[in-house]
Amino acid sequence: MALRAISSTASSLTRQDVIYLRVDGGTLPQAHEFRAAADPVPLMLRESLEHTGLADGLNQLIDEVLQDASITLIARMDADDESLPGRMEDQRHYLQAHNKVDILGTACREVDEHGQYLQLKRMPSHHKNIIAALPRRNPINHPTVMMRSRVFSGGLRYRLDVRRTEDYHLWISAARAGYEFANLDQPLLNFQRDSSFFQRRSGWRQAIADFHVRWRAIWELRQITPANLLWAMAAFVLRLLPANIQSFLYRQIR
């Protein structure tokens, strides 16, 4: 799966770009195959024998990337996802044409572990609507995002004290700091949603984490309204429902 992620991304990059591949909690066998998949884009392999988690791994990569002043755009994706043709080109061109936009996501196609299409996941397009959506849901598809390095050079990082909501918290911090958001309507990534997707996002811990991040958005972005508070409570209850019911409701809401 990771080979497809690398090759699909490299297809819309140039020799001046760099792909960073982080392995969390182990080593990567047959690394030469991944470098071949990335060719002609240089691939920097970063292996961590200790499992430190998504946020810590991303923060380490960000710290390294910021040492190179020539890197002004940072994109990310997961190893089991696939960039669709032209993804990096389209996002780069949009950011070149819209200098005020700092964080750019796209729509994505959700697929199962066999690559079969499930549904299209679109987000609000414009900054104002994205900010308004933050108290109710995560309005950026994290694996699709491309950001300007200035978002991080100002000191923002992924929080290490939260689980499965690291990106959501980052968007709230970025919104408070005044950074500009946008989403492209066209799907530029296949996001894998496997059969255990909703089971991993069920239970008390996830319910509390979801309520916490929504309450933070409501409070810190000064969007304290009855509708937003009701939405946060509804999301809390949703995470306590059986996975099959969550799956059904997810399809209806999207």
pLDDT above 70 (res 1): no
Residue 166's contacts (CB-CB under 8 Å, 6 or more residues apart) are 54, 55, 58, 158, 159
Model pLDDT, residue 195: 65
d(CA 132, CA 137): 10
Report whether 30 contacts 45 (CB < 8 A). no
Q: Rounded to the nearest 5 degrees, what angle is found at the Cα of 82, between the Cα atoms of 252 and 140?
A: 50
| 165, 102 contact by CB (below 8 A) | no
Integer CA distances (angstroms), 173 to 93, 151, 154, 229, 233, in order = 26, 10, 11, 20, 22
More confident: 200 or 178? 178
User: What is the rounded CA–CA span in Å between residue 96 and residue 221?
Assistant: 28
- Residue 30 is predicted with a pLDDT of 87
Closest CA to 55 of 198, 166, 170, 180: 166
Give the C-alpha separation, 231 to 130, whole Å.
Answer: 16
**pLDDT at residue 254 is higher than 60:** no
User: pTM for this structure?
Assistant: 0.92
H or E element in which residue 59 lies: helix 54-65
Q: What is the pLDDT of residues 147-189, one digit of tens each?
A: 999 999 999 999 999 988 999 999 999 999 999 999 999 999 9
| Residue 4 clears pLDDT 80, i.e. is over it | yes
Residues in CB range of 67: below 8 A, 6 or more apart: none
Q: What is the predicted pLDDT for the residue at 16?
A: 94
Interatomic CA distance for residues 254 and 248, integer angstroms = 10
Cβ contact 188:77 at 8 Å: no
CB atoms within 10 A of CB 151: 19
Query: Could you name the CATH architecture of 2-194?
Result: Alpha-Beta Complex (3.90)
Break the chain into its structural domains and give their ranges.
2-194, 201-254
The CA-to-CA distance between both ends of the chain, in Å, stands at 26
Q: Could you report the per-residue pLDDT of 44-92, keeping only the tens digit for each?
A: 999 999 999 999 999 999 999 999 999 999 999 999 999 999 999 999 9
Q: What is the pLDDT of residue 60?
A: 97
Whether residue 204 is predicted with pLDDT greater than 90 in this model: the reply is no
